[in-house]
Structure formats: C-alpha cells, structure tokens
Amino acid sequence: THPETGNARIYEATASAPVNIAVIKYWGKRSEALMLPTNSSLSLTLDQDQLQSKTTVRVVVDADGKENDAALWLNGNREKLSGRVTALLARMRALRVAKEAKDASIPHLASKPLLIASVNNFPTAAGLASSASGLACLAFAVNAALQLELPPADISALARLGSGSACRSLFGGFVAWDMGSKPDGSDSVARQVASETHWPNMCALILVASATQKEMPSTAGMQTTVETSPLLQHRIQAVVPDRMVAIEKAIAARDFDSFAEITMRDSNQFHAVCLDTFPPIFYLNHVSHRVISLITMYNQVKSKSNGRKYTVAYTFDAGPNAVLYLLKEDVAEVLRLVNSYFPNGVDAASGSAVDEYYGLSKQFLKAGSKTVEESEKALEAEVSKGVKKFEESGGLKRIIYTTIGDGPRILGAGEAGEDVSLFTDAGVPK
C-alpha cells in the first residue's frame, strides 16, 4: 500500500493490447540476445474488442527484502517468468533507476516487487497466438506502473525483447517492423504505416482449424530454419525487400489486388521455408490446404463478375488457422461459401453453439434476397467444379470476424476510474 494514502493501487496500471497478423512474415533472428530479425515484416493490427490481452502490473511499494522480485499469473494460473520476461523487466527497471537517480523527489519503485496478471479475451483453445498481444501489453502496463513515460516506439523496442512480433502490437492499423542494420539493434523498430481508419473496408475472417498435432513453437522453429534452410537466405536477400516496398505502396493506394497477391505469396513462401527447414516443419494441415484451394477457386470465379483479380487473401502463421483479409462488402458471400464447404453441424443447432461458432460473423449469415441466393448458388456450383467439399464435419472449430483496430490502451492507472484491476486490494488475482 501507498505509505501516505494506504492505497494499494496507486502504483498500478491495467492495459490492453491487440493481436497482429502479419502479411509479410517475420521468421528468423540474426541475434537471439537482442531479438533482431533476419528480415523486415508487416502486419495488420486487429480490433481489440474481439481479440486482446489485458494485463495489470502492481508495484508492491511496502514490501521489504524482495528486491527485483516478480510474480506472474496467466489466465489465472501462477506461471514461472521466462528468461525473456525477466530480461524485459530488468531493462524497464533499469530505466526507472535512471529516472530516480535524476530526480530524488519521485517514489522509489525501481527495485520493488511486481505483481503481474494477464488474461486473454479469446479462448486459448482457439489456437491463436497470444505472445504478441501479451508481451506488448506487459511492456505497455509496466511503462505506466513504473511511470516511465516512454514513447510508443521505445515501448515497442522493449516488447520486442519479449517476443519479436510483439513490437508490432504497439501500434494500430498497418505496421511495419524494419529489420535495421545496426549491430546494437537501435534501428530495428516498428512504425505505423497507416492508421486503423486508413482502409475502413478492410476486415478479417479467422477460420480456426482443428489441430490434432501440437505445433513446433515459433522460437525453436525459426532457429532451425535459420540454421538449415537455403531458401530462407534467398527470401531474406531477394524477396522480402521488394515485397515490403510493394505492400506499403498497395496499402497507401488501398489497392486490394496487389495487397492480396503479396499477402498470399508471402504466406506461401513462409510455409515453403518451413518445409525447406531440415528436419521440416509443418504448420498447415489438410484443412488449411482446402481453404487455400477454396479461396483460389473463388477468386478466379469471382473475378469474372467483379473484374477484380482477388476478392480474398489468405495468410497462415505458425499453425493451421487461416486468416482471411477481405473487404466488408464481400464478407457475407465468403462466409456462406465457407459454410457450404466446411459442414459445421451448428447451423441446425440453436443458441450458444451457434453463437460460439460464429461470434460476430453471425450478423452476415442472414439470408439474402432471392436473387442473391440464386447468384450465390451459381457461384458455388462454379467453384465446386474446381474444389472438393470438405467431407467431415468439424474441420473448422469457429469463425472470428474482426476489423482493423488501434494500439494498446491504458484502462486504468493509479487511483482513477472504475475498477479494472485484475488484482484484489490484497494482491490476489481475481
């Protein structure tokens, strides 16, 4: 508790941070210690109202004899701090030490124990990566709790120490992570390419695919890739630099055809690099492959009527889930097409099973007019000439609809505002 006011929350902050999904993939480190990548990357930040991490950091100011201690709860479970999180906290505490050395009047927080609780608002069972949003959120909340007052770019560089992709979750909209060239990593930084309002029609459908196998974690996977894949070297030198320029241009011009082609080619190459790793790494499964075929065929058929080369772009991270980037006006048709290819068994059911499966995408399911139904049937028939329907029910576990969103938010700091803390006054996770 605070020595004068008796308030446990005065040196506490609660923050939320978004998930990001890359369209130019980060895969490979040139320095594990500094967390520097072998190539630049670019991602879209997804709306935190759908997918977010939330973290409370409390500085226990009246604790004695527990210097530089920290306790962590993830989704309510006490967890050991990883080496990376320990390093991140040490760096941020060192910044507080410097601040206190400059100004003797500010409270001594640098070596006080920290209580950290973090939760995700999306089910871990959904198989969505939470390290980017989680580590971005941690760095953002520690900055507030220790009153460091760092600018977002500096918090981003700190978040990177926790997980590479986390550095991009410090910004909303469209975000590049420039690999940089300096040995100390000072020019390896994330920057906003365009804000979340730049391309209002852009949105995402996440098709959560059932995975029976446990995947290889990104950190270990990319390390093996760096050590063994000659294709990665080609990607780093001859492919990504041009793609970064081209996709930034496509985003600036809201040129969906170019954006989509680069996105799909880069996802394909990332998974090709995984296959070129020795021993190989498989992230895509038969559900993912079928999604790729379906989207490819749909784009082809659709281009005859809408004159666009691509209507949907797919991308896959280190797992079988498909992230589809598309424009809002195309969501209803694409969702119905996906439904007709992946029997889910919940359409006939009612209530919570349907809500859980579709989430917000449910709003797009409403039956259209007769003419829409007929043109969709014709489209489906045309697409089915080129791609088989998925036989078994349950290939997809759920569908998440979301839009492009903003960067981290402070939900509450110090004594102000409603009670957003993830801790009780006694310091027990709620």
In the complex, the residues that contact ligand DP6 under the rule CB under 6 A are: 22, 25-27, 41, 131, 163-165, 218-219, 317-318
Closest approach, Cβ 68 to ligand DP6, in A, equals 23
Closest approach, Cβ 51 to ligand DP6, in A, equals 14
- Integer Cα distance of 202 and 39 in angstroms: 25
Which is nearest to 424 in space by CA: 12, 4, 3? 12
Please list the residues that pair with 20 across neighbouring strands.
45
Q: Which is nearer to ligand DP6, 16 or 40 (CB)?
A: 40
Q: How many CB atoms lie within 10 A of CB 23?
A: 25
C-alpha 424 chain-centroid distance: 29
Identify the DSSP state of 184. T
Contact between 407 and 18 (Cβ < 8 Å): yes
Phi-psi region of 153 (alpha: psi -120 to 50; beta: other; left: phi over 0): alpha
Closest approach, Cβ 142 to ligand DP6, in A, equals 18
- Count of alpha carbons within 13 Å of 88, Cβ hemisphere only? 31
Identify the DSSP state of 187. T
Q: Which is nearer to ligand DP6, 9 or 271 (CB)?
A: 271
Q: Which is nearer to ligand DP6, 113 or 405 (CB)?
A: 405
- Integer Cα distance of 173 and 202 in angstroms: 10
Closest approach, Cβ 248 to ligand DP6, in A, equals 16
Closest approach, Cβ 203 to ligand DP6, in A, equals 19
Closest approach, Cβ 146 to ligand DP6, in A, equals 23
- Integer Cα distance of 268 and 315 in angstroms: 8
Closest approach, Cβ 32 to ligand DP6, in A, equals 8
Strand pairing category for 114-120 and 70-74? parallel
Strand pairing category for 77-79 and 41-45? unpaired
Q: Which is nearer to ligand DP6, 52 or 311 (CB)?
A: 52
Q: Which is nearer to ligand DP6, 115 or 194 (CB)?
A: 194
- Integer Cα distance of 260 and 256 in angstroms: 6
Q: Which is nearer to ligand DP6, 25 or 58 (CB)?
A: 25
Q: Which residue is nearest to ligand DP6 (CB)?
A: 164
Q: Which is nearer to ligand DP6, 163 or 344 (CB)?
A: 163
